Structure 1
Amino acid sequence: MIDLLKQLCRQNGVSGDEDAVRDFLREQAGPYADSIRTDALGNLIVFKKGLRSDGPKLLLAAHMDEVGLIVTRITDEGFCKFDFVGGVDRRVAIGKPVVLGPEKVPGVIGLKAIHLVSREEGKKVPKTDSMYLDIGAADKDEALALVRPGTYGAFLGEPEELGEGMLKAKAIDDRVGCAVMLSLLREELPMDVTFAFTAQEEVGTRGAFAAAFSVKPDIALVLETTTAADLPGVDDHRKVCAPGKGPVISYMDGATIYDRGLFRTLTRLAEGHSIPWQTKEYIAGGNDARTIQRSRAGVRVAAMSAAVRYLHAPASVANVEDMENMLRLTRLFLEEMARDGAEE
């Protein structure tokens, strides 16, 4: 699965511009799907028949978009002003390489030179409107020949393995969930399953809203990532979770109180099959589950996530075994849903 994840992380798919990721997913999923479609918001909805068709209507969801940026204006000097798409950490954006548009025009995020920064300015995180994109253009006309306002930009970085069993890449959030779902699509399933590769999660879980209304699931499992914060200097009670301690099974986050029966089912399966698992020890964040849960008359939702360091930064770090265990536990969850259904 990790090789598949690396391929997914190499694709650029900033929220609202997920075409390249969606095309890759469609190509990979198509041979195994009974039906596949793209809806008006850009979600890729894949249905695959399983051994049983009489169980609850089950949805697996993972978002395919990533954080990035969008060009808003070209200056007379040929620099690009921009805004971030999604909650990018501005502290780590300066000096980072990016590629712009389908032609992948190279650029770098710039800021006023350090020797021109006042002492007071140096104490603060720079605001986005003080940054710019340098694409090497000599003037406005030269820049406009390469990019236009509305052009998306994605961070640049090749996935690579770190140390013992860690992976560094951009867009691990949430290409992990996409890789788990693609892996399952290649297998014989114990029951009918709909897979939603959702769009625009990073700007307000927008795609999941449309997907939930069209699929009309009884139960949904959201496959995600969550911030780890297991770093030196962070108080223990704020560390949330840690890579290497297993998939994160949530009972609550900043947007959703998860179904207790589904939570018990996932934790029981993990313990019964010797899969390490953890919970979020600090209540924060949110994902597509919040939107799916509140659709129509309500949906029973659960979430399983990989603990990821440096979420929403140009590069993130996660544990390979955690991600493999997400696939393993999801497979067991499908078998349970086909056999006994969800606990109440």
Structure 2
Amino acid sequence: MLLKKLCNIPSVSGNEKEVRDFIYEKIKPYVDEIKIDFLGNLIAIKKGKESFPSIMLSAHMDEVGMMVNSVDENGFIKFLPVGGMDDRIFVSKVVEIGKNKVKGVIGAKAIHLQEPDERKKALKHKQLYIDIGAKSKEEAEKLVSRGDYIHFDSEYIEFGENLIKAKALDDRAGCAMIMEILKEKYDSTIYAVFSVQEEVGLRGAGVAAYRLNPDLALVLEGTTCYDLTDIDEPDFATRLGNGPAISLVDSGSYFDKNIIKKLLKLAEKNNIKVQFKQTTKGGNDAGRIHLTREGIPTSAISVPCRYLHSPISVIHKDDFENAIKLVSLFLESIKKEDDYE
């Protein structure tokens, strides 16, 4: 499965080459032109008919992870987070470091050695270390170097009723959606952007949008889902299995009402279950895209994802597949006279 292969590839923000190379080879037969810009965005162009609106589809290739900060005298590695993560997810996780994917485990001082106050608080990443089995600084530095990227070692697994567990579902789900969509033909010219460095400040998509200047844009992504027993329903954000989520507003964007209305009509007409994202927290590449040049009408279609920004993110297959259907229907529905200004 395409999504499985994408999720298992490491691609911490700033280190997207491996997944970019994979995507490049897979989409090459379906597009007319492929470019890689200075920042590392992969931009594929699928030409449509003249006078039809051009549409940018955007999903980011990067994932949250870590970076080697230093190695102590005993060969233990101190690290820095890359992207937004809760420090509580780090301890006891298996990781791989650098190009050679050196195996390691994230450890901490044993609980019986911790002071009483330490036991009452979640351990910060500064209190943790990565153990690669080295006996000294010299031995460790033969295997890893300061600045090496670190990714979680977490395999793609299918479980339960159509559930998927993997790292990097935010946003390999979006990447896989675009890759499937590119296999079909549309009247509009499609600018498929696989962006870099979203997790560290939405850096890639804004540059790509400025270069392409599309008539409108859709961001395809994984978004938060808190449908858990100890959370009040208004704070669920989204619900797993309730369909792709459409946002009205988040911390970085007011989404285009005309696009939203069309998406909702298409979902209703084609019996596709959709939901609104119930919170305004968080953001995605739309935050940069919609502010580019004179402004670009932009919306987001998101796959609900439990345990986001962790090595065990979970999505529902039906949400993922329905998101692909909805985007395809949207692209098929675009008319020459459509005006999104």
Please, what TM-score do these two structures have when normalized by structure 2? Answer: 0.98
Alignment partner, residue 59 of structure 2 = 62
1:136 correspondence with 2:133: yes
Alignment partner, residue 8 of structure 2 = 10
Alignment partner, residue 22 of structure 2 = 24
Q: Is contact 1:60-1:220 (8 Å) kept?
A: yes
Q: How does 1:1-344 map to 2 (within 5 A)?
A: 3-50=1-48, 52-338=49-335, 341=338
Deviation at 1:29, TM superposition (A): 1.0
Deviation at 1:299, TM superposition (A): 0.6
Please say which of residues 246-255 and 302-311 is displaced more in the overlay: 246-255
Q: Deviations over 1:164-218 (max 9, x none)?
A: 1111111000001100110111222232100000000000100112111111112
CA RMSD of aligned residues (A): 1.2
Deviation at 1:58, TM superposition (A): 1.0
**Hey, what's the Cα distance between the residues in 1 that align with 2:40 and 2:340?**
33
Instruction: Indicate the SS of the match to 2:184.
Output: coil
Change (3 A) 1:268 1:340: farther
Instruction: State the aligned residue count.
Output: 341
**Hey, what's the Cα distance between the residues in 1 that align with 2:218 and 2:89?**
32
**Hey, what's the Cα distance between the residues in 2 that align with 1:329 and 1:204?**
28
Query: Counterpart amino acid of 2:299?
Result: A
Query: Counterpart amino acid of 2:319?
Result: D
Q: Is contact 1:264-1:343 (8 Å) kept?
A: no
Please say which of residues 278-287 and 304-313 is displaced more in the overlay: 278-287
Instruction: Indicate the SS of the match to 1:7.
Output: helix
Which stretches in structure 2 are left out of the alignment for 5+ residues?
Answer: none
Q: Is contact 1:336-1:342 (8 Å) kept?
A: no
**Hey, what's the Cα distance between the residues in 2 that align with 1:342 and 1:329?**
20
- Give aligned-pair identity as a percent: 46
Query: Counterpart amino acid of 2:147?
Result: G
Query: Counterpart amino acid of 1:305?
Result: S
Deviation at 1:339, TM superposition (A): 5.6
**Hey, what's the Cα distance between the residues in 2 that align with 1:342 and 1:76?**
63
**Hey, what's the Cα distance between the residues in 2 that align with 1:283 and 1:176?**
21
Instruction: Indicate the SS of the match to 2:322.
Output: helix
**Hey, what's the Cα distance between the residues in 2 that align with 1:53 and 1:325?**
29
Please, what TM-score do these two structures have when normalized by structure 1? Answer: 0.97
Q: Is contact 1:12-1:154 (8 Å) kept?
A: yes
Q: Is contact 2:64-2:83 (8 Å) kept?
A: yes
Runs of 4+ in 1 over 4 A off after TM superposition: none
Which stretches in structure 1 are left out of the alignment for 5+ residues?
Answer: none
Q: Is contact 1:261-1:342 (8 Å) kept?
A: no
**Hey, what's the Cα distance between the residues in 1 that align with 2:32 and 2:134?**
48
Deviation at 1:141, TM superposition (A): 0.7
Query: Counterpart amino acid of 2:52?
Result: G
